[in-house]
Amino acid sequence: MPGVGKVVSTTILIELPELGQLNRRKIAALVGVAPLNRDSGTMRGKRTVWGGRAKLRAVLYMAALVATKCNPLIATFYRRLLDAGKVKKVALVACMRKLLTIINAMMRNMKVWNPEHINHYVVTEAK
């Protein structure tokens, strides 16, 4: 997959043995790229990402940064978020989560990267 090299794939396989076994929401929360709330009583705030596995977040950050340049699917997604008015950091974290979701689906279905069939990986996710 463009943007995911040897270091990223090795780190993900070592640090995330649950890959391919959890759904996209649980895997994103486990890594720390899921938007979580810190609401209390009547106070409502912005959703932020926190917690999770720091090493994985660091490698996913670099992978997402590269993927916004060389992966057409992620680059289009990133550009669409920026055009919608999102801050660059927020858009990049969304790309991190999308990369993780795609990698999780690829592992679950035991498929290799194929940009024409990417919707199949994401849509057929087990609940």
pLDDT digits (tens, 9 = 90+) for 72-117: 889 999 999 999 999 999 999 999 999 999 989 888 888 888 777 6
Residue 72 domain-assigned (yes or no): yes
Full domain range(s) for residue 59: 6-38+46-123
Total domains in the fold of the chain: 1
Question: Residue 56 gets which letter from DSSP?
Answer: H
Residue 1 domain-assigned (yes or no): no
Backbone φ and ψ for 124, nearest 5 degrees, come out as -85, 25
Class of residue 91 by CB neighbours under 10 A (exposed 0-12, middle 13-18, buried 19+) = buried
pLDDT digits (tens, 9 = 90+) for 30-59: 888 877 666 666 666 666 666 777 888 899
Q: What is the mean pLDDT of residues 53-68?
A: 90
Rounded to two decimals, what is the model's pTM? 0.80
Could you count the other beta carbons within 10 Å of the beta carbon of residue 24? 20
pLDDT confidence tier of residue 127, bands split at 50, 70 and 90: very low
Residue 80 domain-assigned (yes or no): yes
Lowest mean pLDDT segment, chosen from 8-17, 25-34, 111-120: 111-120
Residue 77 domain-assigned (yes or no): yes
* 67 against 38, higher pLDDT: 67
- Length of the chain, in residues: 127
Distance (Å, rounded) from C-alpha 66 to C-alpha 2? 8
CB 97 within 8 A of CB 105: no
